[in-house]
Structure 1
């Protein structure tokens, strides 16, 4: 079973274990990019304190005890030993400081999400159940301004004020998913990549798409949001597989 015992000198241990499992599985799905992508999780009430992966550690090696515990309001963070990646600090720190409902953030450059983000029209049309999941629940950033240092992070944070918006298609960049927990966010990340792949492959067929009506797309999105325990069970099963393999993610 997944380790739940508090690690010496480590707070928020179960959250750390969940995060580590999400990193390991994202690597297994090849949705990461070398050592360049980042996940974070708020651990205090206003969201300003958060856990995040250490600088330039491969997702497949991240352990629960590796995660940094950061304060979005600390201006000296990048001057400390074991400082986070500066672009991760710029993006995740800004959002955790300015968007309290964004409890968990997952940013990747996964192939199909990034292809979608590179199209002139990056809208994800509802052509199946997975694409309908995101109907009216994403925002497209069309003003990519370079690496996500603090100014870019603050600009992105300003686009996430609507609690209904849980996905940012980052034009010319990748995707950012937010959620209420690790399980909620990882489940959404997984299904967004699946949805983007279906949509890109459908476009490649070069024939008209069978697009769902607005009414059916919204109904499907709402039904999936209300579906009981899917995200929690998804992550629990992934942790069970990792545990069966004697993975060290929960150490």
Structure 2
């Protein structure tokens, strides 16, 4: 992603690039209708500093997030910059847990989209009833709702239920995805959101056609053949950044 505008004094080039990419992602989420007032979170680890990550300032809408107002915190929740904004504990507890224990969880996204919450709130969760749902068959973890995630002791159960998967439906709650890069996490979230939306539409029409397991296996085997070079989600995310740039470039500040 091309860098624009001078970086904030005291912030290194690598951190500024991470801030801009994350700020862009918040604007992309807002453009796609995935904002939830001032709630929900996307976080990224800082390059070269595994004990620190960036999170949105609590109190701002996704459309107000900029590179400069993202909050830098450590894995224990301590602010590492002079941000005047607080951090939502409900976001910190869950994201810090996964950033601490999962080396490959560079980026973590959690949303309360209507489709994501709806599918997480029915028995059976996501079912193989459409193209995108087949991407995730056998790859989604589930965690029962225990109330708002502000208690550290829930972490052990979250990790146990996640296991070796990096996509989770929090039952009665919403979507949680992780990626080795932000674009990878983005394309996972986008595809899972689409899968949920289409499942809602399909089930409203009657009995769904389930894709057979052997076809799901072929689909997952061959998916890489339909991807653009550059890494999972890279071209997709870049396209969305160009789109939001045509509307508002203030996220770069």
Q: Deviations over 1:15-56 (max 9, x none)?
A: 211111111111122212111100101124684321111112
Asked whether the equivalents of residues 91 and 154 of structure 1 are also in contact (C-alpha less than 8 Å), the reply is: no
Query: What SS class does the counterpart of residue 161 from structure 2 fall into?
Result: coil
The whole-number CA distance in structure 2 between the counterparts of 1:186 and 1:52 is 16
Match of 1:100 in 2: 103
The whole-number CA distance in structure 1 between the counterparts of 2:45 and 2:6 is 20
Q: Deviations over 1:73-130 (max 9, x none)?
A: x36559x9644111111111111112222111000000101000111321x2222221
TM-score (norm 2): 0.87
Query: What SS class does the counterpart of residue 158 from structure 1 fall into?
Result: helix
Match of 1:197 in 2: 197
Q: Is 1:18 the equivalent of 2:21?
A: yes
Asked whether the equivalents of residues 111 and 175 of structure 2 are also in contact (C-alpha less than 8 Å), the reply is: yes
Match of 2:236 in 1: 234
Q: Unpaired runs of 5+ in structure 1?
A: none
Query: What SS class does the counterpart of residue 233 from structure 1 fall into?
Result: helix
TM-score (norm 1): 0.88
Match of 1:70 in 2: 73
Q: Which moved more, 1:86-95 or 1:215-224?
A: 215-224
The whole-number CA distance in structure 1 between the counterparts of 2:252 and 2:160 is 34
Task: Map 1:13-52 onto structure 2 (within 5 A).
Answer: 13-44=16-47, 47-52=50-55
Asked whether the equivalents of residues 2 and 243 of structure 1 are also in contact (C-alpha less than 8 Å), the reply is: no
- Aligned length, in residue pairs: 244
Query: What SS class does the counterpart of residue 162 from structure 2 fall into?
Result: coil
Q: Which moved more, 1:237-246 or 1:167-176?
A: 237-246
The whole-number CA distance in structure 1 between the counterparts of 2:103 and 2:205 is 42
Name the structure, 1 or 2, with higher relative contact order (CA <8 Å, separation 6+): 1
The whole-number CA distance in structure 2 between the counterparts of 1:59 and 1:173 is 19
Change (3 A) 1:36 1:225: farther
Query: What SS class does the counterpart of residue 33 from structure 1 fall into?
Result: coil
The whole-number CA distance in structure 2 between the counterparts of 1:89 and 1:60 is 20
Asked whether the equivalents of residues 17 and 250 of structure 1 are also in contact (C-alpha less than 8 Å), the reply is: yes
Query: What SS class does the counterpart of residue 28 from structure 2 fall into?
Result: helix
Change (3 A) 1:4 1:161: farther
Asked whether the equivalents of residues 95 and 154 of structure 1 are also in contact (C-alpha less than 8 Å), the reply is: no
The whole-number CA distance in structure 1 between the counterparts of 2:185 and 2:70 is 17
Match of 1:211 in 2: 210
Asked whether the equivalents of residues 99 and 161 of structure 1 are also in contact (C-alpha less than 8 Å), the reply is: no
